[in-house]
Chains A and B, each alone.
Chain A
Amino acid sequence: MTEYLIRRTLQSVLILLLITVVTFILIHAAPGGPKQIYLSPNLSQAAAKVQEHNLGLDRPLPVQYVNWIGDLLRGDLGYTFKNHIPVGEIIWPTVGHTLVLMGAAWLLTLLIALPWGIYNSTSEYGLSDQTASFIAYIGFAMPTFWFGIILQELFALKWNLLPLSDMWTMGKEGQIGDLLLHLMLPVTVLTIGFLASYVKYARSSMLEVLDQDYIRTARAKGLGEGRVVFRHALRNALIPIITVLGLDLPVLVAGAALTENVFNWPGMGRLFVQMAVAREYSVLMAITLLTAVFVIVGNFVADLLYALVDPRVKLSRKGGAAA
């Protein structure tokens, strides 16, 4: 186990390091390079030289890279180009907002999807099962942002039931009730998007387990169906779902980004798009790295949990490719 832990940690760190290299190269591959990005075109040639030197852009690339990594490790994410605000100051509040939105959607999805999937596995091809596959097909083909717009038109504009967008009503910042009202529509959009696949995972994972010999044994020795499903099958069926949860993190983050833009939710995804339009590269790089860390930690934890709960997992497996 310790060996696995060490190997997996090293692997995560390596990938993270590679991601920093890729982002660094991307910025330096931009037309005109970082000089174009960090230096104002209005500067005189002499001033530009000074500025270039101050920012360290005249040093060789490897040195610049090492300096950048050093800054990152010290928690210094750089400054915005326009107003020279520390990037961290802009990013950290939005991270919290995104986590609120994502967390709510994720929790709701699990609360609905797990029982639904389990139920569907016990009544294959029933009405509820078919409804789930119908939602799956629609959910996979529907642009989430379109669904968001339609919900806005119906619930906010036509029936005037829920707030149209944003996180708080003006003057009501910090009130939980107001936040919950604002969460309703975006969480619905995200949940519909995730729901289908989780119901499907829960169902197929349960079906696989229900097919096993030890379930037949349990039934044969006269256990009630409820006990068989919940005590014997469910525990093992949950194992693959854990992995899926970890692997789905990037999808969750990206899905939240679109939804945030539709509902003007002040999260990381909306900030990312705004900064992309404004070409604030330091913020873009910081958010990219942050989401990458998030995803890698998520996968790491999922793998670890998997190895913990399932003794059959070969701990010496080569490479990071999960199954």
Chain B
Amino acid sequence: MSPSTAPVRAAGERARADRRPPGLWQAGWRQFSRNRFAVAGLAIMAVFVIASLTARWIAPYDPTRIDMMFPNLPPGTGDHLLGTDELGRDIFSRLLYSSQVSLLVGFSVAIASVAIGTLIGAVSGYFGGWLDTCFMRLVDVMNAIPLLFLNILILAIFGSEFSYMILVMTFTGWMGVARLVRGTFLQLREMQYVEAARAIGVSDAGIIFRHLLRNASAPIIVNATLMVGYAILGESALSYLGLGVQVPQTSWGLMLSNAQEFMLVDPLQAVYPGLCILLVVLAVNFVGDGLRDAMDPRKQAAIARRGWGRWRRNSSKFGN
């Protein structure tokens, strides 16, 4: 036994001395870190986040600098790691700056729509009655129009601005979470601890936020993670269609629509942005699935299954 493990064991014994079982987060992390795919996803996410945060310093060129002397350079020419596009702009720098847009949209839309969805779901699940009916009809209405169409319609009416896009995607993205939270709350509100809390005079808001929301937090967090992926895909689709991010800003979707125009000249240009989207969304989904397994106490028994078997099991629950 190496001496370095000693303090760890000491800490473990102290914890045991306190007779405190590991909390949700601690146990969750332990399980999460055993899932290879989830950890890989987290690592890829970290790389992209760091790249986007430091884009200003690590990008070799200004992403908007047009250099008509050197359009469509192949990868590896000069200092252009991935070549240049049809206007001579450095593709690698553009990819870096695009990741800022995608990640910003992804995270802000996910956080905002999950917050709204949670609130609406919580209120309608807890109170029920006409409030519930109203909200759920609203969800039905929103669900009856394909999301992409709804996004396009609203962006067409109000104009394609970056902040609008985040708002619009939030406005059209909360329904899934609302349904989920409502369903969970419908179950949880019948629990005895809720009755107990009410008996000792805890207010409705207290019960919702302190008691119910905590118990419903695991699926909400998992859903928020998956929402990041959906939002990134949605942003790229809107930008590809010309209704999202506008020139001179760049985004992976916008780069793809450029690349499609010039695919006879340089087919490789279309590959990079798509690969970036694929990688980020894949990573986010892996993290989400890892979280789902880690935070569900009922799934404790399944740790033994590893590798492909684990991947398979995860994917069979995907998207429910």
Interface residues of A (CB under 8 A from B): 14-16, 18-19, 22-23, 26-27, 29-31, 125, 129-130, 133, 136-138, 140-143, 145-147, 149-150, 152-153, 157-158, 197, 200, 203-204, 250-251, 253-254, 257-258, 261-262, 272-273, 275-277, 279, 281, 284, 287-288, 291-292, 295-296, 299, 319-321
Contact = CB atoms under 8 A, between A and B. Distances in A.
Contact of B285 (A30, A125, A140, A288): A140
Given A27-B157, A149-B263, A141 B278 contact: yes
A130 B312 contact: yes
Contacts of A204: 316
B147 A254 contact: yes
A286 to B, nearest CB: 11
Contacts of B237: 143, 145, 258
Q: Which 9 residue pairs spanning A and B have beta carbons closest together?
A: A146-B274, A254-B146, A276-B156, A141-B281, A133-B315, A254-B148, A141-B282, A250-B146, A30-B157
A145 B143 CA distance: 23
Given A125-B312, A140-B319, A279 B156 contact: yes
B29 to A, nearest CB: 23
25 contacts: A15-B140, A18-B140, A19-B145, A26-B154, A31-B159, A138-B278, A140-B229, A141-B285, A142-B277, A145-B256, A149-B263, A153-B263, A197-B319, A200-B315, A200-B318, A251-B146, A254-B147, A258-B148, A258-B241, A275-B156, A276-B243, A284-B153, A287-B149, A291-B145, A299-B144
A203 B152 contact: no
Interface string B129-140: 000010011101
Nearest to A268: B149
Main secondary structure, interface of B, reads: helix
A19 B133 CA distance: 16
Given A254-B147, A257-B146, A14 B137 contact: yes
B260 interface: yes
A149 B255 CA distance: 12
B319 A273 contact: no
B109 to A, nearest CB: 16
Given A140-B318, A291-B145, A26 B157 contact: yes
Contacts of B179: 321
Contacts of A138: 278, 282
A16 B147 CA distance: 16
Contacts of A140: 229, 281, 285, 318-319
Contact of A157 (B133, B154, B263): B263
Chain B contact residues (Cβ within 8 angstroms of A): what range? 35 or more
A250 B256 CA distance: 25
Contacts, number: 169
Nearest to B309: A125
Given A153-B263, A291-B146, A146 B312 contact: no
Given A137-B285, A140-B285, A146-B278, A253 B144 contact: no
Contacts of A152: 260, 263
Interface of B: 133, 136-138, 140-141, 143-150, 152-159, 179, 229, 233, 236-237, 240-243, 253, 256, 259-260, 263-264, 267, 270-271, 273-274, 277-278, 281-282, 285, 308-309, 311-312, 315-316, 318-319
Given A19-B144, A125-B312, A250-B146, A149 B259 contact: yes
Contacts of A251: 146
B241 A261 contact: yes
Contact of B312 (A133, A158, A291, A295): A133
A109 to B, nearest CB: 16
B282 A250 contact: no
A143 B319 contact: no
A158 B158 contact: no
A284 B144 contact: no
B137 A18 contact: yes
A158 B229 CA distance: 31
Contacts of B260: 149, 152, 262
A291 B140 contact: no
Given A30-B158, A203-B316, A276-B152, A295 B145 contact: yes
Given A149-B263, A200-B315, A288 B141 contact: no
Given A30-B158, A133-B316, A136-B318, A19 B141 contact: yes
Contacts of B155: 276
Given A291-B146, A295-B143, 12 more contacts: A30-B158, A125-B309, A130-B308, A140-B318, A145-B237, A146-B256, A149-B263, A153-B270, A203-B316, A262-B260, A292-B145, A321-B136
Nearest to B308: A130
B242 A277 contact: yes
